[in-house]
Amino acid sequence: GENVEQHPSTLSVQEGDSAVIKCTYSDSASNYFPWYKQELGKRPQLIIDIRSNVGEKKDQRIAVTLNKTAKHFSLHITETQPEDSAVYFCAASNGTASKLTFGTGTRLQVTL
């Protein structure tokens, strides 16, 4: 089955700096890669996703890149703000509406 590894487990950046979280996956059949943000005590929320026919996708300060050959994908947050502090999860799946395999999460702390 699919295995998703996520690094780093914790990340501390100063406000205004960029943050990068990296994930690798094992199943070459995976074709959908969402990222979820979970603030303390709240539900995981989808912040951006990418399909395997696209190499990069951007939404304001958030971008995701995908390297199918190397089987890795990354989340990039620019101009970080304190409200970006949360746990971020990457995930992978191999079909529409199929189960997601999650990484172990990255706790991002944006300091003033």
Partner 1 sequence: EAGVTQFPSHSVIEKGQTVTLRCDPISGHDNLYWYRRVMGKEIKFLLHFVKESKQDESGMPNNRFLAERTGGTYSTLKVQPAELEDSGVYFCASSQEEVDGYTFGSGTRLTVV
Q: Which residues here bind partner 1, judged by CB under 8 A?
A: 4, 32, 34, 36, 42-46, 49, 51, 89, 91, 96-105
CA distance 13 to 16: 8
CB of 102 to partner 1, least distance (A): 4
Burial of 22 (0-12, 13-18, 19+ CB in 10 A): middle
CB of 44 to partner 1, least distance (A): 5
Of 66 and 103, which has the nearer Cβ to partner 1?
103
CB of 51 to partner 1, least distance (A): 8
Mapped onto helix, strand or coil, the DSSP state of residue 83 is helix
Of 80 and 108, which has the nearer Cβ to partner 1?
108
In this structure, what DSSP letter does residue 82 have? G
Q: Give the residues across from 87 on adjacent strands.
A: 38, 107
